[in-house]
Homo-oligomer: A and B are copies of this chain.
Amino acid sequence: MVPRYSRPAMTAIWSSENRYKIWWAIEVFAAEAMGKIGMIPADDAATIRNAYDADVLGEIDVPAIDAIEAVTKHDVIAFLTWAGEKLGPERRWLHQGMTSSDVLDTSLAVQLKQSADLLLDDLDALLDVLKRRAIEHKMTATIGRSHGIHAEPVTFGLKLAQAYAEFDRCRTRLVAARDDIATCAISGAVGTFANIDPAIEAHVAAELGLSPEPTSTQVIPRDRHAMFFATLGVIASSIERLAVEIRHLQRTEVLEAEEYFSPGQKGSSAMPHKRNPVLTENLTGLARVVRSAVVPAMENVALWHERDISHSSVERFIGPDACITLDFALARLTSVVDKLLVYPDRMQRNMDRMGGLIHSQRVLLALTQAGLSREDSYALVQRNAMRVWESDGQLQLLDLLKADPEVTSRLSNDELEGLFDLGYHLKRIDTIFARVFGDSA
């Protein structure tokens, strides 16, 4: 976790305090269930639950727990020792028949679920902003580019609608990944429930909003986690896509959009054009960081037999790093889109810089439909188009065509002008918006 790329709410999820609180909940809910089935005295179980509801732990004293762990060399025991002091003799029933992994893996599941919920909120915020700005620029014409080369017109809103659709898919995937990861395992040393009734697991799962893990070994199987981090990697890649788009649009020669800067803000020097797309560049890098969690998470799946502990160190890194970084990145991207400076005039000017060549295909088609052979049509268009191209935008294709008798003998000026109509390209933007946003667009 790098502090400058983190936000408080997600960082809190991955704090020691939160982890201990989740452990406490697991132990308490387990004890409560043990009381219900008579594994431990019902009164003591109730006392424990009441203590939980009364928040007897209060603030978690992490240094105190750390100090105990330094002696016991066991994190769960250290916590139970500290927490037990807040209880009476009923403390002895805590953790009966359970194994550390029951607590650790279920706790990780809760943290990942909490993280997923926060990331879903982030996605919702991003989707809101994308939708608002897509609608704002629904008909803001701009050139579509394939291979970085001008192709045909689109709208800036359409670009944002495409991003909306992409992040909406990411949302769906994350919901699935969250459900995949949100399981509870309290099944004992090798997952056989030899020393613990499955009813305990069922109760804890219900209290925590998790599903019972159908069959665990000692641990929750790591294919779930692999899928989770792979999904984060896909989301990060989508972030990269939009970030790269914005970086392209802000290039000096393009300058169709810019990351926000306040009116009075100075550029980095005397050169007022030196406004760098540092936020989206940063997002490009953060996407690489989030993605780097994917392969290790997959390598974690093949634990030996009922478990080894090799995954643990990996997860201490990628758990917080991937979640915290992705949360930060989504929020940053939302802010960038929210405040993005969009320059429709410049979009128009860039589109025009080819002197109307972007319409040459329609002219070609019209000449063919007017009865000229395709070869002759091509030659006609090409000879005019080449002049426009060589003038570097000084000449206009429409002007040349109007002055070319071989053209005008087939197409009237009105017809020619109609072929240069932007509306032709944008006539189905409404349809596409309806497909992306439904009735709400």
Contacts and interface: CB of A to CB of B under 8 A. Distances in A.
A101 to B, nearest CB: 9
Contacts of A300: 285, 288
A166 B432 contact: no
B316 A147 contact: no
Contacts of A350: 253
Interface in A175-192: 176, 180, 188-192
A16 to B, nearest CB: 11
B166 A282 contact: no
A382 B192 contact: no
A130 to B, nearest CB: 12
Interface string A29-41: 0000000000000
Interface of A: 2, 4-5, 143-154, 158, 161-162, 165-166, 169-170, 173, 176, 180, 188-194, 198, 212, 214-218, 221, 223-224, 226-227, 230-231, 233-234, 236-238, 240-241, 243-245, 247-248, 250-254, 266, 269-278, 281-282, 284-289, 291-296, 298-314, 316-318, 321, 325, 350, 353-354, 357-358, 360-361, 363-364, 378, 381-382, 385-386, 389, 424-429, 431-432, 435-436
* Chain A, interface SS category: helix
A422 to B, nearest CB: 10
A311 B282 CA distance: 8
A281 B294 contact: no
B162 A313 contact: no
A298 to B, nearest CB: 4
B144 A271 contact: no
A294 B230 contact: yes
A152 B144 CA distance: 30
Contacts of A284: 302, 308, 310
B282 A244 contact: no
B272 A385 contact: yes
B149 A276 contact: yes
A162 B145 CA distance: 29
Contacts of A248: 148, 304-305
Contact of A223 (B169, B221, B223, B274): B169
A252 B231 CA distance: 35
A429 to B, nearest CB: 7
Nearest to A194: B425
A426 to B, nearest CB: 7
Contacts of A143: 252
Given A149-B273, A244-B304, A269-B360, A194 B428 contact: yes
